[in-house]
Amino acid sequence: MKLVISILQLILIQADCWKIFHRGREVGGNLGAPYDVGYKATKKLAQDEWFIQRLDHFNPTDLRVWKQRYFTNDQFYKVTHNGPIFLMIGGEGTASPLWMNQGAWIDYAKRFKALCFQLEHRYYGKSHPTEDMSTKNLQYLTSQQALADLAAFIQAKNEEYGFSSNVKWIVFGGSYPGSLAAWMRLKYPHLVHGAMSASGPLLAKADFPEYYHVVEESLKTASSQCLSTVKEATAQVEIFLNHTVGYKALDSMFNLCDPIENSINNPKDISNFYVTLAENIAGIVQYNKDNRIGGNQKVANITIDTICDIMEDDDMGAPIDKLAEINRLLMNANNLKCLDYKYDKMIQELSQNSWSSNVSEGGRQWMYQTCTEFGFFQSSSQPPYIFGTDFPVEFYIQQCVDIFGEKYNSAFVDTNVQRTNTFYGALDIDVSNVVFVHGSIDPWHALGITKTREQRAPAIYIEGTAHCANMYPKSEKDLPQLKAARVEIAEHIDAWIRL
C-alpha cells in the first residue's frame, strides 16, 4: 500500500476542511484480423485488386469514380457445383487479407464450395474515394453509400463471371459490418440471399450508457470483488484529483504525458482522463479471449481474468495501484511512452484530413459516421457509474462540434440518429435469411437483436463470449456454446442455399 495509503490518509485528513465528492467513472471496435502465428510467412496472402466505384450513387449527374480495394479466394469454388458466393463486408478499419484464408466463413466456404470476396469499406484502408478526408469530402461516407458500393460490386461480379440469375450471394459482417450485412439483406434482397450479422448494433442511439452497463455485468460475472475494486479505484482517482497532494502521484502512477495539475480547471481534459481509464477496462472486456490480432498479440493476451487477477491481488497495494498496473500493461503492450489525456491534442489529431495522417486508419472517419448517423456515444449518464459521471453524452457531441463544425451539434446528431433508425428499422428490422449473433460479454449486444423473434431471422446469443467471437478461427480453448453457434450458423447457411 505504501505511498498510496500515505497519500490517501493525508487527503482524507484534509477532507475535514474540504468537501469531497466521490464519483466513479468505452470503445468501439473494429473486427480484428484473425490470429494465426506465422501465417504470413508460410502461406500466400490474397493480393490487392481494384474495383471502379462511383463516388455518389445517388446523384446521376455526378460521374466521378474511384478505386475500391477487394480480395478474392476462388480455391474452393466449383463452377459445376453451382456454389454460393460469399462476400465479407469491410468495416471501420483496413481490410485484412488474412480473412481470405482464415476464420469461420472460410470453413463454411470449404464446405459449400463457395467463391469468396472481401470488399473494403469506402474511406478506410487503401480505399480512398476523395483526395483527402476534409469534412466536405466526408459527405460521401455514409452507410447508404457503402451498401450501394456492395450492390454495384455484386452486380459487376455477376456479369463478369456470368453467374445465373439464381446464384446465391451470402454476406458476412462483424461489428459495424454486421449491421451492414443485415441492412444489405433488407435493402437489396434481390442481390443478397442471406446474411450473417455478428455483433452488429442495429439501434442507432446518441447516448449509449448501456455500453458500460454490460461492462459492469461482465466484470461482476467474473468476480464481484473485481468489480467492487474497480469502483474503489475510481473513487480513489477522484480523491487524488481533488487535492494538490495527489496530482504528482497520478502523474507518476499513470505515466501521464502532461502534468494533471495543469488540467484541473479544464473539465474536458479531466473528462478525457476518465474516459481513457474507462476504455482501458472496456476494451479488454469487449475483446475478451477473441482469437484475434489486436494492436499486437500482447493486447489480446490481456483478458478479464488478467484484470481480475490484478484487482484481487492484495499484495499489489491499493485499488488505484491496481488500476495503474492495468494501465501500465496496456501501455507496454501498445508501446506507448506515456498516457495522453489532453482534449485539445485529441481534437487536433482527429481534425487532420490527410491520408498520410495517423487518423487516416479510421479514427477521423468513424468519428464522422458516429456524429452523422449513429451516435453510439458510450457515456456515463446513467447508473451504475462504475467509472464516474464525468463523460456525459454532451462531452462526445462537443467533440463532433470541435472536429467537424458548429452544425454538428446535439440537434443535428439527434435528427440524424432518428433518420438512421427510420431508414433501417432499428430493432424492428423486417428481414428474412439473416442470423443475428451476439456474445453476452460484448457491450455492443445492448444495441442488437439477441432473442429470436421469428424463425426466418433467428438470433444466437452466446454466453461467455465477446465481440464477433464466432467469426474468428477455431481454437482449442473455444467454449462449447461457441462451437455450437458456429455449427448452427452453418445450418442456416445450408438452408438458405437450398431455398
Catalytic residues: 175, 442, 467
Q: Write b or e for each residue in 474-499: b if 16 or more Cβ atoms lie within 10 A of its Cβ, otherwise e.
A: eeeebbeebeebbebbbebbeebbee
User: Which whole-number Å values give the CA distances from 32 to 41, 469, 483, in the listed order?
Assistant: 19, 10, 20
Three-class SS state of 325: helix
* Amino acid identity at 153: F
- The string of DSSP codes covering 98-143 is GGGT-SHHHHHHHHHT-EEEEEPPTTSTT--SSSS--TTGGGG--H
Residue with cell 449491421: 179
* Amino acid identity at 70: Y
- The string of DSSP codes covering 233-290 is HHHHHHHHHTSHHHHHHHHHHTTBSS-GGGGTT-HHHHHHHHHHHHHHHHHHHHTTT-
User: Nine-digit cell at 268?
Assistant: 474536458
Instruction: Decide: 42 and 85 in contact? Cβ < 8 Å.
Output: no
Q: How far, rounded to the nearest angstrom, does the alpha carbon of residue 453 sit from its chain's CA centroid?
A: 25
Q: Is 311 left (phi over 0), alpha (psi -120 to 50) or beta?
A: alpha
The separation between the first and the last C-alpha atoms of the chain, rounded to the nearest angstrom, is 65
